[in-house]
Amino acid sequence: MSRIYETDSYIKELKTVVTEVGTDEKGRNYVCLEDTIFFPEEGGQNADTGIIIPLGNGEVPSEEEGDGIRVLEGVITGRNTCSSTAETSQISIKYIVSEPIEAGSSVLCRLDWDTRYDRMQNHSGEHILSGIIHGKFGFDNVGFHLSDTGFVTLDFNGVPDRDQVAEAEREANRVIYANMPIRDSYPSREELKDIEYRSKIDIDGQVRLITIGNEEETVDVCACCAPHVARTGEIGILKIMSVINWKGGVRISMLCGRRAFEYINIEHEILTETAKILSTEIVNAPELVRSRCEEVAELKTRLAAATEANILGRIGAGEADFTGCVFVSEDITAVSMKNIYNVLSGKYPGYVGIFAGNDNEGYRYNAGSREKDSRELAALLRERFGAKGGGSSDMIQGRITALRSEIEGFFHDNNDNL
């Protein structure tokens, strides 16, 4: 099998022959091809998709073929990741297809090019960023996933600080603007001994290297099996989206090319609309939002204090129909709930509780008794309502999903039995 995607990642169509057909262990149809432009799932990147069009005697697609047979997935067997030769090797790639094809058929393969090119931009960008972080700060890329819907993630075995991450991002975009070449090569075992490259894993067979840089500067050399763009300028832009701690190192999320542009454009639209709502300029929006959030927090604190004072006043005055429960909105704080519980349990015998929430979403609660072990109440609430939570003999707390009327009835019945 000749894997054209390794030697020329820009070929979008290819005439070839179906060499094998069958069904896999999941009952899905698969085909093997004599030559292929479809990259299989490998090395953290999803498989190419596209269509396979059976060719008639005239070697042109028939009008009756419609959109062709969909290539849904590609699975590679027979070798380790990124071990290959430029032309042939003892491997097999099975392409999962939407319907059967006859073995020996001449076919025309067409890539879903926009998806392929998007992956090429992001994968090449990942090589640049990983190479820079390795070269400047000594951290190795130990994990990579090229999502088609979310961010591209890179896992490193060290923790670069904020300034180092920003420096790596600036340097990566400098390399992109410089429009340097990206080349593949297939050095011999002897030649490999003298080459410094990333991803030096134990590989059987020929190693394929991707080199980024020009005569004056080598940015990165890495073993890789995936298609890449021909020059760094095609990547367009590289934007780091987040950095989080991950298994003793960091996970960096990033986007390149079209996807980076689209994401930044969405964020810009959101920021523009936010500034419009606040009647301010974009540059002033963050500080104004921060100020409004502080105001809201202060108002919530005052409201919680007023709610607590109101409830405590009602408890102090006494309620003729009190069943052991007080119900309030979600706005009340945990501190206020504990304060109210302490007053309730000191004033009323039996089980008492403060419940914050509503019938639709459930309630947070602090409950118990001064006279009995509150943990017994926790067991009763779990048995009756499946309530979550726990606590001590003095007080329990947690969440409960039930109607207010049911909770009040429960407390009324159990207090009557004391």
DSSP state of 85: -
pLDDT in tens, 270-300: 999 999 999 999 999 999 999 999 999 899 8
The pLDDT tens digits for 14-36 are 999 999 999 999 999 999 999 99
Q: What is the pLDDT of residue 80?
A: 47
Concatenating the DSSP letter of every residue in 340-357 gives: HHHHHHHHSSS-EEEEEE
Q: What is the mean pLDDT of residues 73-82?
A: 71
Integer CA distances (angstroms), 6 to 131, 136, 331, 349, in order: 21, 29, 59, 79
Q: Lowest mean pLDDT: which of 193-202, 223-232, 288-297, 397-406?
A: 193-202
Alpha-helix runs per DSSP H in 350-390 = 374-385
3-state secondary structure of 120: helix
Domain 116-255 in the same topology as domain 2-111: no
pLDDT (average), residues 143-147: 94
Instruction: Domain ranges for the chain, please list them.
Output: 2-111, 116-255, 301-416
What is 116-255's CATH superfamily? Threonyl-trna Synthetase; Chain A, domain 2 (3.30.980.10)
Q: Where are the beta strands (DSSP E) in 78-119?
A: 92-97, 106-111
Split at pLDDT 50, 70, 90, the class of 304 is confident
The pairing of beta strand 106-111 with beta strand 13-23:
antiparallel
d(CA 325, CA 304): 18
What is the rounded average pLDDT of the residues 247-261? 97
Backbone angles phi, psi at 360, to 5 degrees: -75, -45
pTM: 0.77
Say whether pLDDT at 60 is over 80: no
- CATH class, 301-416 region: alpha beta
At residue 361, the pLDDT reads 93
- pLDDT, residue 83, reads 44
- Which pLDDT does position 308 carry in this prediction? 85
Mean pLDDT (whole number) for 90-112: 93
Cα separations in angstroms, 285 against 183, 242, 264, 288, 292: 45, 21, 17, 5, 10
Under the banding of pLDDT at 50, 70 and 90, the label for residue 333 is: confident
Structure confidence by residue, pLDDT tens digits, 113-142? 999 999 999 999 999 999 999 999 999 999
φ/ψ of residue 52, rounded to 5:
-120, 120
Please tell me the predicted confidence (pLDDT) of residue 320. Answer: 43
Instruction: Please classify residue 114 by burial: count the beta carbons closer than 10 Å to its beta carbon, then call 0-12 exposed, 13-18 middle and 19+ buried.
Output: exposed
Domain formed by 2-111, architecture:
Beta Barrel (2.40)
Lowest mean pLDDT among 70-84, 295-309, 337-351: 70-84
What residues form DSSP beta bridges with 22?
A: 30
Q: Where are the alpha helices (DSSP H) in 278-373?
A: 285-317, 334-347
**Identity at 20, one-letter amino acid code:** E
So what's the pLDDT on residue 84? Answer: 43
Cα–Cα dist 260/74, whole Å: 27
Tokens of 104: 């020996």
305 or 159, higher pLDDT: 159
- Report the Cα 15 to chain-centroid distance in Å: 37
Kindly state the tokens that stand for 37.
């432009």
For residue 388, the model assigns a pLDDT of: 94
56 touches 49 (CB < 8 A): no
pLDDT at 332: 84
Give the residue, 290 or 318, on which the prediction is more confident: 290
